[in-house]
Structure 1
Amino acid sequence: MKIILCLITLLLFPIHVYAETDIDAERMALYKKTEAVTFLPWHYLAAVDEYERQINDKDTLISLDPPDWFWQGTEDGLSMKGWNRDGDGDGKGSRDSDEDTLYSTAKYLTSNGLSRQDIKIALWNYYEREVTVQSIMNNAKLYETFQTLNLDQHAFPVPLSSNYSYNNTWGDGRGYGGARIHEGTDIFADYSTPVYATTYGVVEMKGWNKYGGWRIGIRDPYNTYHYFAHLSGYPEDLEIGSIVEPGQQIGSVGSTGYGPKGTSGKFPPHLHYGMYKDNGKTEWAHNPYSYLTQWERKKQPAS
């Protein structure tokens, strides 16, 4: 049964394996062309486009697909009533044109101004969902920082040279706090073993939880939230909003949790690692075990 669940997970959440490709270059060229005429930094367009690609499962060159109200207009497709604009110079604003779609989206996002807060307000008006807005803004930070669309590398969450073990315990029962199931994989290791970020991402959550103890949450560019729990501590410079990359130390293995703040030692030291997928409406846990086995076989990035 667990093997079947792993296969289903891989089908639902395929592991990206592409390197910098021609399609990345094509997308970047379109983003930067739009930036040149609208002054909206390309990384915002890339962030919105990638978000739409994940929630719509539309892996086309440009995955943005604004709703019908966005395209309201006259017969030639141009109207100030809607947001459709002519980006490719053919005199029409069409949802079938990638350049028109990007140009129209950029005009909408800059309708309040060009500041980060102006763009955030426009995103809220469009999506009306805080998790979505934060995810897109975080992705924009990632693209701006690393200046590439290729942010798909991963790392195993503890050093491969360390003394560790793990099994597929997804769905097992948990007693503390009432009847519930295990939504993750436990990686048992010695106290203070370094814990690494498994992906590029932005720290969304950090602090104490009575179940997870000291924990940290990181959202990656592909709309997956990575959860690390039962830590013994964090690097001093790691804060909510910090940008991380695969193989960067984000904490250390501990045995914290299952009680009020500071509780430790109620179970052997281990890292609880969870993954949560967001589809634009809700977020749910899925089994990280198959991903861990994939990353374990790859060369560990330098920390």
Structure 2
Amino acid sequence: MKSKIICFTGLSLFFLFFSASATAEENAPDEKQAKTALYKKTQAITNIPWYYFAAIDQYEHNIQKEEDNSEQLISIDIPDELWFGVSNPGLTSEELITVSDGWGRDGDGDGLADKNNDEDVLYSMAHWINQYGNNKEDIKIALWNYYQRELTVQTIMSIAKIYEKFGTIALDKTDFPLPLHANYSYRNTWGDARGFGGRRIHEGTDIFAGYGVPVKATTYGVVEMKGWNKYGGWRIGIRDIHNHYHYFAHLNGYEKGINVGDVVEPGTVIGSVGATGYGPPGTSGKFPPHLHYGMYKDNGYSEWSFDPYPHLKRWERNARN
């Protein structure tokens, strides 16, 4: 749930347009270049690093329904009651919005604070953040007061960390979790019955392979969890830029230097295939060695498991090509 927001008067606008200049962006789709230009323009005006705007925008895009087909580039959706204020029937004059205790702001210099204007939306979000400051901890506090949900704040900060590291939002590469030359096999096992620990469904796909076969990250992401789980044994959890949590379980061990908070990319080796789990720390060998690969989706309110098999087949096919 989003909190009541207090508006504030802000920064004097000046107009400066940044093109997407990073080399990594040169081959990105035009839409991503245009988005990056908007993020960087807002950074120049507000001194908030561009990758935070990009991360908020990406998160909001991830939680929107597929049927939402706005023509805007920016997906950030600020509720009307917060944008216009308590007594404003929907007038877009920045002056009237301010008087009504709304927080919509004019980002492009036309005197209007229009929810359908990408620059106005980004600039208004920047105004909210700048009440708290523009460093990392200030931004986390601002996001918490807006979203009031820990996982949302954590996800946005992780996405920002990824964008900062690679300097681009054009991060579409993927990889299959095992080397293609390895002797492995898998089928769709999501939803199958499991008995250990009580009746439950299998929330993933099992990829059978030999002990020690390298396990790789499949997407860009941040290591969110690492350690023992009585069901999954030695496992790693990675959160990607699409609000997906990738769960790698039954590992034989971890790649040296992989720690919680690390940014990974497709192909980063994170561990190796094993047969750990179904017991206290160190339990192994209760089943043939395999990688349990699970995927979970967060929609801004809850998180649930979904079938990773189609993704694995696509990633495998793309890797072979």
TM-score between both structures, scaled by the size of structure 1: 0.91
Q: Is the 8 A contact 2:251 2:271 kept in 1?
A: yes
Q: Is the 8 A contact 2:221 2:238 kept in 1?
A: yes
User: Taking structure 1 as reference, are residues 234 and 101 closer, same or farther at Cα in structure 2, changes over 3 Å only?
Assistant: same
Provide the rounded CA distance (Å) in 2 between the counterparts of 1:286 and 1:42. Answer: 32
Which residue in the other structure is 2:163 paired with?
143
After the TM superposition, which residues 158-177 of structure 1 pair with which residues of structure 2 at under 5 Å, given as runs?
158-177=178-197
Which residue in the other structure is 1:224 paired with?
244
Q: Is the 8 A contact 2:176 2:319 kept in 1?
A: no
Which residue in the other structure is 2:83 paired with?
71
Which residue in the other structure is 2:45 paired with?
37
Which residue in the other structure is 2:60 paired with?
52
Root-mean-square deviation (Å): 1.4
In the alignment, structure 1 residue 205 sits paired with structure 2 residue 193: no
Structure 1 segments of 4+ aligned residues over 4 angstroms from their partners:
none
Provide the rounded CA distance (Å) in 2 between the counterparts of 1:106 and 1:260. Answer: 48
* 1:195-221 Cα shifts (integer Å, max 9, x gaps): 000000000111000000000000110
Higher Rg of the two aligned structures:
2
SS in 1 for 2:271: strand
Deviation at 1:300, TM superposition (A): 6.3
Q: Which moved more, 1:56-65 or 1:197-206?
A: 56-65
Provide the rounded CA distance (Å) in 2 between the counterparts of 1:20 and 1:70. Answer: 34
- Percentage of identical aligned residues: 61
Provide the rounded CA distance (Å) in 2 between the counterparts of 1:277 and 1:188. Answer: 24
* 1:27-78 Cα shifts (integer Å, max 9, x gaps): 0111111111011110000000000011013464110111123213464233
Which residue in the other structure is 1:260 paired with?
280
Q: Is the 8 A contact 1:173 1:182 kept in 2?
A: yes
Letter in 2 for 1:232: N
- Give structure 1 stretches of 5+ with no counterpart: 1-18
Which residue in the other structure is 2:23 paired with?
none
Q: Is the 8 A contact 1:155 1:300 kept in 2?
A: no
Q: How many residues align?
A: 283
SS in 2 for 1:294: helix
In the alignment, structure 1 residue 247 sits paired with structure 2 residue 255: no
SS in 2 for 1:106: helix
In the alignment, structure 1 residue 190 sits paired with structure 2 residue 210: yes
SS in 2 for 1:159: coil
Letter in 2 for 1:251: G
Which residue in the other structure is 1:16 paired with?
none
* 1:69-110 Cα shifts (integer Å, max 9, x gaps): 321346423317222111010111121111100000011112
Letter in 2 for 1:65: D
Provide the rounded CA distance (Å) in 2 between the counterparts of 1:215 and 1:228. Answer: 5
In the alignment, structure 1 residue 281 sits paired with structure 2 residue 301: yes
